[in-house]
Chains A and B, each alone.
Chain A
Amino acid sequence: MNGRLILGILGRLMVLEAAMMLPSLGVALAYREGDAAGFVWTILILLAVGLPAMLLSPARREVCTREGLVVVSLAWVLMSMFGALPFLFSGSISSPVDALFETVSGFTTTGASILPEVEGLPHGILFWRSFTHWVGGMGVLVLTLAVMPKLSGRGSVLARAESPGPTFSKVAPRMHDTARVMYAIYTGMTLLQLGLMLLSDLPLFDAAIHTLGTAGTGGFSNRNLSMGAYNNPWAEMITMVFMLLFGMNFVVYVRLLRGDGWKSFRSAEVGAYWAMAAVSTLLIAVQILPEYSSFLSALRYSSFQVSSIMSTTGYATANFALWPQFTHVLLLLLMVVGACAGSTSGGIKVSRVVILGKAMAREIGQAVAPRKVRLIKMDGRLISEQTVRSVLVFLFIYIAFLFLGTLAASSDGHDFVSSFSAAASCLSNIGPGLGVVGPAGNYGVFSPAVKMFLSFLMLAGRLEFIPLLALFHRELWGKGH
C-alpha cells in the first residue's frame, strides 16, 4: 500500500471538487442570496487540504488493485464530506448528519432528500445539489482520469472500481481517452437535453436543475412537487426519454458515433431494458386507468414513473403512493433491477439480471441432463465462470444489505413498506420510495443514526459494494502489503 500515492490522488480530487464548485458559486453570485460566502469558504478549505496533498505527488505512479479500492472508497466519502459544507455554511441545512445525507444522496445520484421544503433554498445551493448528481453520475474518478492524464497509467483499476456493471469495457486503448470519450458523450447529451427543455418553455434555472438531475439519473428538483409542479407534458416527455437514454449502456452511444447504426442497439441487455420498460408501462397504465380521464393520460403518468424508477432517477409527476398495490410491487421490482451497466444509473443492472436468468436456466438444465456442456453466452460472447460467480455474490450482498437496511429503517418505528422501500431506494440510488418516503414524503423523518446507515447504503450501492466493503477487510490493512 502506497500511502503517499493515495494521498496524492485524493489531493487532486479535492482540488477538482473545488473547481466543481465554481459554477455553483457563479449562480450564487448571480442571485445574491447570501450563499456565495459558503462556497468561497468551502473552496478555500478544499484547496488548503488538497494542494499540500497534491504536492506530495508520489514517485511511483502505478495504482495497484488494492490501492484502487481504497482510493475509490475514500474519494467518495471525502467528496461527500466536503460537499456537505456549503449546506452548513449557508445555513440551508443545520444538522451535519442531514447535510451529509443530502450530499451523499447527491453524489450517488440517489436524489433522496431530508428537506421537506426546497423552494425557499438559495439558488446556488439548489444548483450545487443538482450538480453533484451530474458529477456522481459518470463518476468522480473517471472525471479525474479525463482531466489528469498522468494518472492514467493504471487508471483502469480506478475506473473499474467506480463504474457500474459486472464487467468494465474500455472504449479506447488508453484509459485517459476512454474517460474523455465517456465525458464528451455525457456532456453532449446533457446539453442536448438542456436545449430541448428550454424549448418546452421551462425557465432556464429549472431546466438546468432538471437536466442535471436527469443526466446523472439523480432526481433532485427545485420544486416540492418535483416535475409534477410544472404540469408541462413536453418537459415531462423530454425528461422521460432522456432518463431512459441516460440509463442505457454508454457503449451504445460510442458505437453509434462510430457509425455502427442500428447494430449499436443490438445487445441482450439493451433489448431487455426496453422490453421491461415497455411492459411495465403498459401494465401500470392499465392499473391506473380508473384514476385518469383517458388511456393516453394514464400512459403519460405511467411511462414517466416507469422510466424514472427504472433509470433510478426518482422524479415524480404523480403521487404514485396513492396508486393501486400492484403498481407498488412492480415499481419496487424495477427499483431493485435498475437500468443498464455502463450507464449513470443504479440498482442490480439489467445485464446482471440477464446473466442471472441464464445461470438459472443452466442450473435447471444441468439437473435434467447433467452431462451436457452448457456455456453462458451474452451477445455471442462467453461469460466467464468468474463473472457469473461475482454476479451471484453481488445479488447476495444486495439482498443482505436490503434486509439490513429495512431492519435499520424499521427501528424508527416505520411500517414495513416504508422501511423496505427506503432501503431499496437508497441501495439502488433512486430517491423516493413508498409510504412515508413516497413522492410526497421525505427522509427527514428518520433518526440521525438511520440517516447515517442509509447514507452508507447509498454509497455502497453506487460503488457496487466491493470497494467500500473491502475497506473493512483485515488483509487490506495488514502488514507486508
Chain B
Amino acid sequence: MRIIIIGDGKVGHSIAEALITEGHEVTIVDRSETALLRSRDTLDAMMVKGNGVNVDTLMEAGAPMADIVIAVTVSDEINMLSCLTAKRLGARYAIARIRDPEYHKSLSFLMRELLIDYVINPERLMAQEISRMLRYPFTGSVETFARGRVELMDFRLAQGDLLEGMALKDLYTKKPELPRVLFAAVERGEEALIPKGDTVLQAEDRVFVAADVLTITRFFKAIGKYISGIKSVMVLGAGRITYYLSELLLDMNIKVSVVELEEKRAAEFKEMLPQASVIVGDGTDQELLISEGLDHFDAFVTLSGLDEENIMAGLYAKRLGVRKVVVKNSRDNYMDLLGAMGLESAVSIRRVTGNAILRTVRTRAAAKKADAAERLYRLMDGAAEALEFIVQDDAPYINVPLRELKVKPEALLAVIVREGQVRVPFGGDSLQPRDSVVVIVKGGVQTLGDIFR
C-alpha cells in the first residue's frame, strides 16, 4: 500500500521502519531537514520536506494516490488539519495522533467533520496497556486473541526454577500434572527462538506461553510464578496517562494512590478524580514512599516524565517487595536491560503507539486480502510476531493432517480455536473452515498459507 507518514519523530520513524519491512511504499513528510537526512540513510522511503498541511507538499508526497495517511507530528492541530487536507486531496484513510483531552471530549464530532478515520491517543493506549498488565500481574506482557479466548503471556525463568534445563518434549512426561499450555516463543539474550521439541529452557529465558485464561493461570500457579489479584496501586506522577489509568482502575474497584510533586497539578487531579487519593511529594524520595506505605500496595506504576526516575523508583519498590512493578520507559533499546534487572513490565509510549498504528494498517491491508491476518502483535520488539488468522472456506490446507502440512522452521502453529474451544494442535489435527488460528512467526508472513512449505 502507499502510505504517507507526516512527522518524522520517534514514532514516525519506527512505524516507517516496520511498514517498509512489510513491503509498503512509504513517503515521509517532515519540516526538518535534519530529521529527513537521518531517515534518508536508514529507510528505503521517499522523503518530502515541508509542512503536512501544505497542499503542495502533500501533492508532492502523492496524497491523491495514498491508501493511508498517518499524521504523527508533535502538534494535534497539524495532525488533524493534515488528515483533512490529505483526505480532501483524495487519500483513502487517515490516522491522526491526538493527545489533548480537550479534543477527546468532542472526538466523534471532530472525526466526522475533519474526515479522520482513526484517532490515536497514546496516553489512553498506555493506560489500557498498563491496566491489562495489572489485571494479570503475573505476566510481563499480555496479548489477547480470538475475542478473549486465548491469552499470550510471558514469564522469565530464574535459576533453580521448576522448568529450568527441561527439554520441551520431556516436559509433560516428567511433569504430567502441569496444565497444558503451548510454548510459543523464547527470548534468549537478543535472540528470538521459535521453540521445538528439543528446545531446552535455560535460566534468564523469557518464555511466552499461550492458552485460555484459566489454564494459563493454573500453569503459572504450578510453576510458582503466580501473583494474586491486585487490589491497590500506587502511581508515580499525575500526568495524562495516570488520569486515564486511574479511571480504568477505579472502574475495576482497585484503590489508587497518586504521588505528585507539583501541588497545583495534584489539586487539579484530585478535582478531576475525587475517588483517587493524591499525595503531594517527591516520588523519588524513598522515605516518603515508605511513609505512604508503598510496601503495603500490591502494585507500583511509575509514570513520571523522566526514565531514570521511573527506573530507580521501580527498582526500589521491587526491593521493598511490591508484587507488581510497571515502569514507563521511552528508550526502546533499554527494554531487555530492564528485563534483566527484574523490571519485566516496562512500557514505552512509542511502542504502544507504533503497535496500534501498525495493527490498523494491517487491518486495512487485510481488507484487500481475505486470507490476511485478523490481528497482529509484535513480540520482543518485533523479533517475532503473533498473528491471528481465520481459516477460509476454500483454503487448500483444510482437512490435511498437520503432520503432512510442513510448517516452516521459523513458524509455529500455536493454537486453534474451534467453536469456542481452545485446543493446542497436535500432528493428527487438521484445520477446519472458520477456525481461528494463532501463529507465531519470525519474519514477514502475510497469509496463513505462507507458513507452510
A90 / chain B contacts, CB cutoff of 8 Å: none
Which of A62, A155, A173 is in CB contact (< 8 Å) with B46? A173
CA distance A177 to B47 in the complex (A): 15
Residue B25 CB within 8 A of the other chain: yes
Q: Which residue of chain B has its CB nearest to the CB of A153? A: B44
| A384 proximity list for chain B (CB < 8 A) | 33
Is B369 in contact with chain A by the CB < 8 A criterion? no
Contact of A170 among B2, B41, B46 (CB under 8 A): B46
Over the window 234-250 of chain B, the binary record of Cβ atoms lying under 8 Å from chain A Cβ atoms (1 yes, 0 no) is 00000000000000000
Which residues from chain A sit less than 8 Å from chain B, CB to CB? 62, 64-65, 152-157, 170, 172-177, 381, 384
| Chain B residues in 8 Å Cβ range of A152 | 44
Chain B residues numbered 12-69 whose CB sits less than 8 Å from any CB in chain A: 20, 25-27, 33, 40-42, 44-47, 49
Known A173-B2, A384-B33; contact A154-B25, beta-carbon cutoff 8 A? no
- CB-based nearest B residue for A175: B44
Provide the residues of chain A in CB contact with B26, threshold 8 Å: 173
Contact B44 A172 (CB under 8 A): no
Known A173-B26, A173-B46, A177-B25; contact A154-B41, beta-carbon cutoff 8 A: yes
What residues on A are CB-neighbors of B41 within 8 Å?
64-65, 154, 156-157
Write the chain A residue with the least CB distance to B4: A173
Q: Is A172 a contact partner of B25 (Cβ separation < 8 A)?
A: yes
Question: Are B40 and A173 in contact, with the CB atoms below 8 A?
Answer: no
For residue B47, which residues in chain A have a CB less than 8 angstroms away from its CB? 170
Write the chain B residue with the least CB distance to A155: B44
Find out whether the CB atom of A174 lies under 8 angstroms from the CB atom of B42: no
Q: List 9 A-B contacts (CB under 8 A).
A: A65-B41, A154-B41, A154-B44, A156-B44, A170-B46, A172-B46, A173-B44, A175-B44, A177-B25
C-alpha spacing A381/B46, complex, angstroms: 17
Tell me which of A65, A157, A174, A381 contacts B25 (CB under 8 A).
A174
Q: How far is the CA of A64 from the CA of B20 in the complex (A)?
A: 17
Residues of B within 8 A of A173 (CB): 2, 25-27, 44-46
Most buried by A among B27, B42, B46: B46
Give Cα A155–Cα B40 distance, bound, in whole angstroms: 10
CB distance from B23 to the nearest CB of A (A): 9
Chain B residues closer than 8 Å to A176, beta-carbon distance: 44
Interface residue range, chain B: 10 to 19
User: In whole Å, how far is B370's beta carbon from the nearest beta carbon of chain A?
Assistant: 26
Question: CA–CA, A76 to B150, complex, Å?
Answer: 56
User: Which B residues between 183 and 235 are near A, CB-CB below 8 angstroms?
Assistant: none
- What would 16 more interface pairs be, CB under 8 Å, given A64-B41, A177-B25, A381-B49? A65-B41, A152-B44, A153-B44, A156-B41, A157-B41, A170-B46, A170-B47, A172-B25, A173-B2, A173-B27, A173-B46, A174-B44, A174-B45, A175-B44, A176-B44, A384-B33
Q: Return the chain A residue nearest B62 by Cβ.
A: A173
Please report B residues at the A interface, Cβ cutoff 8 Å: 2, 20, 25-27, 33, 40-42, 44-47, 49
On chain A, the residues within 8 Å of B33 by CB distance are 384
Could you say which residues of chain A place their CB within 8 Å of the CB of B42? 62, 154
Which residue of A is nearest B27, CB measured?
A: A173
Q: Which of B2, B25, B42, B47 has the most CB of A within 10 A?
A: B42
Least distance between A469 CB and chain B CB atoms (Å): 19
Residues of B within 8 A of A170 (CB): 46-47
Minimum CB–CB distance for B39 against chain A, Å: 10
User: Which residues from B are CB-within-8-Å of A64?
Assistant: 41
For A62, list chain B residues within 8 Å (CB).
Answer: 42
CA distance A152 to B43 in the complex (A): 10
Which 5 pairs across A and B sit closest by C-beta, in order of nearness? A173-B25, A173-B46, A170-B46, A175-B44, A173-B27
- Kindly report which residue of chain A lies nearest to residue B46, judged by CB atoms: A173
| CB closest residue in chain A, given B43 | A154
Q: Which residue of B lies closest to A170 (CB)?
A: B46
A62 to B21, CA, bound (A): 12
Q: How far is the CB of A267 from chain B (nearest CB, A)?
A: 14
Nearest chain A CB to B252 CB, angstrom units: 44
Q: Would you call B40 and A156 a contact (CB within 8 A)?
A: yes
Q: How far is the CA of A177 from the CA of B46 in the complex (A)?
A: 11
Chain A residues, CB < 8 A from B2: 173
- Docked complex Cα distance between A272 and B201 (Å): 69
Interchain CA distance A175-B46 in the complex, whole Å: 9
Contacts of B49 in A (CB 8 A): 381
In the bound complex, CA of A65 to CA of B49 (Å): 21
Give CA–CA (A53, B358) in the complex, Å. 37
Q: Which residue of B lies closest to A176 (CB)?
A: B44
Instruction: Give A382 Cβ to nearest chain B Cβ, in Å.
Output: 8
Chain A residue with Cβ nearest B42: A154
A390 to chain B, nearest CB (A): 13
User: In whole angstroms, how far apart are the Cα atoms of A176 and B49 in the complex?
Assistant: 22
Closest to B37 in A: A386
How many Å lie between the Cα of A175 and that of B49 in the bound state?
Answer: 18
Residue of A nearest to B45 (CB): A173
Residues of A contacting B44 in the complex (Cβ-Cβ under 8 angstroms): 152-156, 173-176
Chain A residues within 8 Å of B25, by CB:
172-174, 177
Q: How many Å lie between the Cα of A65 and that of B42 in the bound state? A: 9
Q: Which residues of A contact B46 (CB under 8 A)?
A: 170, 172-173
The minimal Cβ–Cβ distance linking B181 to chain A, given in whole angstroms, is 33
What residues of A have a CB within 8 angstroms of the CB of B27 in the complex?
Answer: 173
Which chain B residues lie closer than 8 Å to A157 at the CB level?
41
Most buried by A among B2, B20, B44, B49: B44
Note all chain B residues with C-beta closer than 8 A to A65.
Answer: 41
Measured between C-beta atoms, what is the minimum distance from A167 to chain B in Å?
A: 11
**A176 vs B25: C-alpha distance when bound (angstroms):** 11
Which of A170, A172, A173, A174 counts the most chain B CB atoms within 10 A? A173
Q: Write the nearest CB–CB distance from B50 to chain A, whole angstroms.
A: 9
* Chain B residues whose CB sits within 8 angstroms of the CB of A172 once the complex forms: 25, 46
CB nearest neighbor in B for A381: B49
Chain B contacts of A177 at CB under 8 A?
A: 25
Q: Once the chains are docked, how many angstroms separate the CA of A33 from the CA of B60?
A: 53
Complexed CA–CA distance, A156 and B41 (Å)? 7
Residues of B within 8 A of A154 (CB): 41-42, 44
Q: How long is the Cα–Cα vector from A279 to B101 in the complex, in angstroms?
A: 64
A117 and B27 CA atoms in complex are apart in Å by 52
- In the bound assembly, the distance between CA atoms of A153 and B26 in angstroms comes to 12
CB of B176, distance to nearest CB on chain A (Å)? 41
- Bound-complex Cα distance A153 to B45 (A): 9
- Name the residue in A62, A152, A153 with the highest tally of chain B Cβ atoms < 10 Å from its Cβ: A153
- How many Å lie between the Cα of A38 and that of B33 in the bound state? 51
Task: Give bound CA distance, A173 to B41, whole Å.
Answer: 13
CB distance from B121 to the nearest CB of A (A): 28
Chain A CB within 10 A, most for which of B2, B26, B41? B41
Q: Smallest distance from the beta carbon of B29 to chain A beta carbons, Å?
A: 12
Shortest Cβ distance from residue A378 to the other chain B in the assembled complex, whole angstroms: 13
Highest count of chain B CB atoms <10 Å: which of A62, A64, A174, A175: A174
Closest B residue, CB atoms, query A177: B25
Among residues of A, the one whose C-beta sits closest to the C-beta of B3 is A173
Give CA–CA (A170, B44) in the complex, Å: 10
Question: What is the minimal beta-carbon distance from B32 to any residue of chain A, in angstroms?
Answer: 11
Alpha-carbon gap, A78 to B260, bound state (A): 66
The minimal Cβ–Cβ distance linking B246 to chain A, given in whole angstroms, is: 42
Q: Which residues in A have their C-beta under 8 angstroms from that of B40? A: 156
